[in-house]
């Protein structure tokens, strides 16, 4: 089966004091359909830069990203935008909900942006709100929600277009430990319930351990040979971090 996403030899350089400093160095990996993969790395390891490249929000200095078999490096900005809207849902650390819209209106926003009529997707929207435990909140605005509830809304919004890939950037970073555990459990449930592939990027070993595969990014280098697979557990993640000197 073809991968949902493939990173091939990604490099990203940044100019600092007139010198080219590598942020990412020859990063390569694949995401198989229906997988839940986490990338673990400390602050400054290149996680956000990598996510921007994978989503086509930025261009690599070298290398390529294939999304659904289509090259992002060879696509112009309009095409990358179209691929992104069709193929990727985003979950952010800071929720990015529009404060004047209700929960239901925030969830259907990607449909409106894509030129769709939300009423044609009412059954899916209702299912998402129910599955994520926020159906009773559908008419509230974000100011009346807890952090965990706002993150549930952002997950529903990310899934409303039924994208094959969900990118989650530190999704528990603004939440309590309990709310964070619930969000990670929901993301795992998303894989099976909505047939999505999930890539979660985090500096939290507990969140990283939720993945079927854990990749480690350090100083811009990601070596699949150091990955963990299967029922990993937090202790195994900590042990590998110590082994890698992270």
* Beta strands 19-31 and 5-16, pairing class: antiparallel
Query: What's the predicted TM-score (pTM) here?
Result: 0.91
Q: Domains of the chain: which residue ranges?
A: 5-244
pLDDT digit string, tens, across residues 201-221: 998 999 999 999 999 999 899
Between CA 230 and CA 117 the distance in angstroms is: 41
Query: Angle between the 122-131 and 103-113 helix axes, to the nearest 10 degrees?
Result: 130
Between CA 62 and CA 211 the distance in angstroms is: 28
Using alpha carbons only, give the angle 161, 64, 80 rounded to the nearest 5 degrees.
35
Between CA 188 and CA 183 the distance in angstroms is: 9
Give the pLDDT score at 72: 92
Contact in structure between 73 and 82 (CB atoms under 8 Å):
no
At residue 38 the predicted structure's pLDDT band, cuts being 50, 70 and 90, is very high
Give the pLDDT score at 89: 92
**Residue 1 scores a pLDDT above 80:** no
Between CA 94 and CA 78 the distance in angstroms is: 26
Nearest of 160, 157, 181, 162 to residue 171 by alpha carbon: 181
Give the pLDDT score at 145: 93
Sign of CA dihedral 178, 180, 186, 188: negative
Between CA 208 and CA 158 the distance in angstroms is: 20
At residue 232 the predicted structure's pLDDT band, cuts being 50, 70 and 90, is confident
Max CA distance (Å), the chain? 55
At residue 134 the predicted structure's pLDDT band, cuts being 50, 70 and 90, is very high
Give the pLDDT score at 120: 83
Give the pLDDT score at 114: 82
**Residue 191 scores a pLDDT above 80:** no
* Structure tokens belonging to residue 172: 């528990």
Bigger pLDDT: 192 or 182? 182
Contact in structure between 200 and 38 (CB atoms under 8 Å):
yes
Give the pLDDT score at 46: 87
Which of 86-90, 169-173, 188-192 is least confident? Answer: 188-192
* Structure tokens belonging to residue 12: 């990203």
* Beta strands 19-31 and 36-40, pairing class: unpaired
* Structure tokens belonging to residue 135: 């159906």
CATH number of 5-244: 3.40.50.300
Between CA 32 and CA 212 the distance in angstroms is: 11
The most confident of the ranges 8-12, 131-135, 167-171 is 8-12
Contact in structure between 70 and 19 (CB atoms under 8 Å):
no
């Amino acid at each position: 089966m073809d991968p949902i996403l493939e990173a091939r030899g990604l490099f990203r350089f940044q100019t600092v004091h007139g010198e080219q400093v590598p942020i990412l160095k020859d990063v390569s990996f694949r995401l198989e359909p229906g997988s839940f993969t986490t990338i673990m790395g400390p602050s400054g390891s290149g996680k956000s830069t990598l996510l921007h490249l994978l989503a086509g929000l930025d261009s690599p200095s070298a290398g390529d990203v294939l999304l659904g078999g289509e090259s992002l490096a060879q696509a112009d900005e309009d095409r990358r935008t179209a691929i992104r809207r069709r193929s990727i849902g985003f979950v952010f650390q800071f929720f990015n909900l529009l404060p004047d819209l209700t929960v239901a209106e925030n969830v259907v926003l990607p449909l409106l942006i894509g030129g769709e009529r939300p009423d044609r997707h009412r059954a899916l929207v209702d299912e998402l709100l129910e599955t994520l435990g926020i159906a009773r909140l559908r008419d509230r605005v974000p100011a009346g929600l807890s952090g965990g509830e706002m993150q549930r809304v952002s997950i529903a919004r990310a899934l409303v277009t039924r994208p094959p890939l969900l990118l989650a950037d530190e999704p528990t970073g603004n939440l309590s430990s309990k709310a964070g555990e619930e969000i990670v459990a929901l993301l795992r449930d998303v894989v099976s319930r909505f047939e999505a592939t999930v890539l979660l990027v985090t500096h939290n070993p507990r969140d990283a351990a939720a993945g079927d595969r854990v990749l480690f990014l350090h100083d811009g280098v990601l070596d699949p040979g150091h990955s963990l697979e299967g029922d990993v557990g937090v202790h195994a993640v900590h042990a590998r971090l110590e082994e890698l000197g992270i």
